[in-house]
């Protein structure tokens, strides 16, 4: 029993240390995302995504990058804008960008893995969206899109339905005025808290899983699994197996990054890390949501095309970054700090926790808990709650 307790304590200690390391970055990232959500309406997103042209897909990627990083909210929002007229390919491009190109993901990757990984994530994310668009153009038949739209119109509940349907953005007046207006402040606070409510389980799960793997799994196991002694085979094996590990880990979005740090230190290839992080949108719970949203055939289509794009993007990024000498030679990702000390991380955590506290107070003072309860409520009910919130 003592050995078990020691092992559990070690895993929790690793998880807490990583949590402390990235806390300020999470608050900053969610704060910036909340500001964007407060000034850009969902109806405007649908209007801007009418087709699958390169220009539209770039707009979709930019809108996604400025949106929420929660995988479940991204999937629900993609269906929402698809139902209101957006092109299916553009909606999927938006979805992938909203979990793989967001600023909070980049910040945390810099802190835990290094700037090279952040650059690779953004380059690879755009590349993956381009590959997806080509695959959709080649294999997505009109009948399959009709099937997806018919199933989407049924409005089956997946996750984060209310969050996707609520329209809290402030669209009147100049941008700065909207952000600092009372309505803008309220919208920012609501989006901030709702994003945290949507993703905290993924973050906590990722940190605990990463802590457990770092504490319990010996490096020799990872080195054998990732074929470290066979560099050429490892180059291809990493991107192939990375998404599969992510699918089985059930960890989504930002929660993948701490685990990616463990895998990198263990020996997975550079491209394998990137494809692993990309795979937050094909974990098993989200595949089940695809089935509900678009039907079984479309869910399988999304799995096949997404996996192919992730593998190809991860491999291509590694080859390009190797050619330019940008792949780190040292495997020294931040997995744990021995203890909390009075350093810049602690100072930033204190500052940003104070900011989070201000937003939390505003959230509770402006009927936020009522909105929070509607996050997993179907469309009509969510809209009714939203109407009562704005008119009450």
Least confident stretch, 25-39, 166-180, 235-249, 298-312: 166-180
Give the pLDDT confidence score for residue 391 in this predicted structure.
Answer: 36
Give the pLDDT confidence score for residue 344 in this predicted structure.
Answer: 72
Give the pLDDT confidence score for residue 69 in this predicted structure.
Answer: 59
SS3 72: helix
User: What's the number of CA atoms in the CB half-sphere (13 Å) around residue 211?
Assistant: 23
Alpha-carbon distance values, 193 to 45, 199, 382 (Å): 22, 10, 17
For the segment 334-359, the average pLDDT, to the nearest whole number, is 77
Give the pLDDT confidence score for residue 272 in this predicted structure.
Answer: 96
Mind listing the pLDDT tens digit for each residue in 284-307?
888 888 988 899 999 999 999 999
Burial per residue of 155-182, b for 16 or more beta-carbon CB atoms within 10 angstroms, e otherwise: eeebbbbbbbbbebbbeeeeeeebbeee
* pLDDT reading at 351 higher than 50: yes
Helix axes 231-249, 256-266, angle to 10 degrees: 150
> What does residue 170 show for φ and ψ, rounded to 5 degrees?
-105, 120
- Report for 5-19, 181-195, 220-234: range of highest mean pLDDT: 220-234
* pLDDT reading at 76 higher than 60: yes
Mind listing the pLDDT tens digit for each residue in 178-187?
777 888 888 8
Give the pLDDT confidence score for residue 388 in this predicted structure.
Answer: 43
Q: Which residue has the tokens 């808990």?
A: 369
* pLDDT reading at 60 higher than 50: yes
Give the pLDDT confidence score for residue 167 in this predicted structure.
Answer: 54
Is the pTM higher than 0.75? The answer reads no
Confidence tier at 383 by pLDDT (50, 70, 90): very low
More confident residue, 383 or 216: 216
Give the pLDDT confidence score for residue 202 in this predicted structure.
Answer: 67
Q: What percent of the chain has pLDDT over 90?
A: 35
Give the pLDDT confidence score for residue 26 in this predicted structure.
Answer: 72
Mean of the per-residue pLDDT values of the chain: 81
* pLDDT reading at 229 higher than 80: yes
Alpha-carbon distance values, 238 to 116, 129, 251, 301 (Å): 17, 20, 18, 23
Mind listing the pLDDT tens digit for each residue in 87-144?
999 999 999 998 888 887 888 888 889 999 999 999 999 999 999 999 999 999 999 9
* pLDDT reading at 381 higher than 80: no
Give the pLDDT confidence score for residue 246 in this predicted structure.
Answer: 85
Alpha-carbon distance values, 236 to 42, 54, 129, 329 (Å): 39, 29, 20, 18
More confident residue, 3 or 12: 12
Give the pLDDT confidence score for residue 20 in this predicted structure.
Answer: 77
Among 375, 371, 363, which residue's Cα sits nearest to residue 189? 363
Using CB atoms within 10 Å of the CB of residue 230, give its burial: 0 to 12 exposed, 13 to 18 middle, 19+ buried. Answer: exposed
Instruction: For the chain, give every domain's residue range.
Output: 33-391
Alpha carbons 266 and 273: distance in angstroms, whole number = 11
């Amino acid at each position: 029993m003592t050995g078990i307790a020691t092992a559990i304590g070690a895993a929790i200690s690793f998880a807490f240390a990583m949590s402390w390391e990235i806390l300020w970055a999470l608050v900053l990232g969610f704060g910036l995302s909340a500001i964007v959500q407060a000034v850009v309406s969902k109806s405007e997103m649908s209007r801007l995504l009418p087709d699958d042209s390169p220009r539209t897909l770039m707009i979709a990627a930019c809108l996604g990058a400025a949106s929420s990083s929660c995988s479940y909210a991204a999937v629900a929002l993609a269906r929402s804008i698809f139902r209101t007229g957006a092109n299916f390919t553009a909606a999927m491009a938006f979805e992938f960008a909203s979990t793989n190109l967001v600023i909070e993901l980049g910040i945390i990757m810099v802190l835990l893995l290094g700037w090279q990984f952040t650059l690779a994530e953004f380059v690879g994310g755009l590349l993956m969206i381009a590959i997806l668009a080509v695959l959709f153009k080649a294999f997505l038949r009109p009948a399959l899109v009709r099937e997806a739209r018919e199933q989407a119109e049924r409005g089956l509940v997946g996750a984060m339905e209310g969050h996707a349907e609520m329209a809290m953005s402030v669209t009147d007046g100049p941008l700065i005025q909207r952000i600092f207006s009372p309505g803008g402040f309220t919208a920012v606070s609501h989006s901030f808290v709702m994003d945290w409510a949507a993703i905290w389980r993924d973050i906590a799960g990722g940190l605990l899983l990463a802590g457990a793997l770092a504490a319990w799994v010996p490096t020799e196991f990872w080195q054998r699994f990732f074929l470290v002694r066979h560099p050429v085979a490892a180059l291809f094996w990493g991107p192939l197996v990375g998404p599969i590990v992510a699918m089985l880990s059930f960890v989504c979005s930002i929660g993948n990054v701490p685990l990616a740090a463990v895998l990198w230190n263990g020996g997975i290839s550079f491209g394998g890390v990137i494809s692993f992080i990309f795979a937050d949108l094909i974990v098993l719970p989200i595949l089940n949501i695809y089935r509900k949203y678009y039907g079984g055939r479309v869910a399988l289509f999304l799995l096949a095309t997404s996996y192919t794009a992730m593998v190809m993007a991860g491999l291509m990024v590694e080859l390009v970054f190797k050619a330019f000498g940008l792949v780190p030679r040292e495997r020294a990702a931040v997995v744990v700090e021995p203890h909390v000390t009075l350093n810049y991380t602690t100072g930033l955590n204190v500052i940003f926790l104070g900011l989070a506290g201000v937003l939390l107070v505003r959230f509770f003072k402006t009927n936020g808990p009522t909105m929070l309860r509607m996050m997993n409520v179907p469309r009509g009910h969510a809209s009714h709650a939203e109407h009562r919130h704005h008119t009450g």
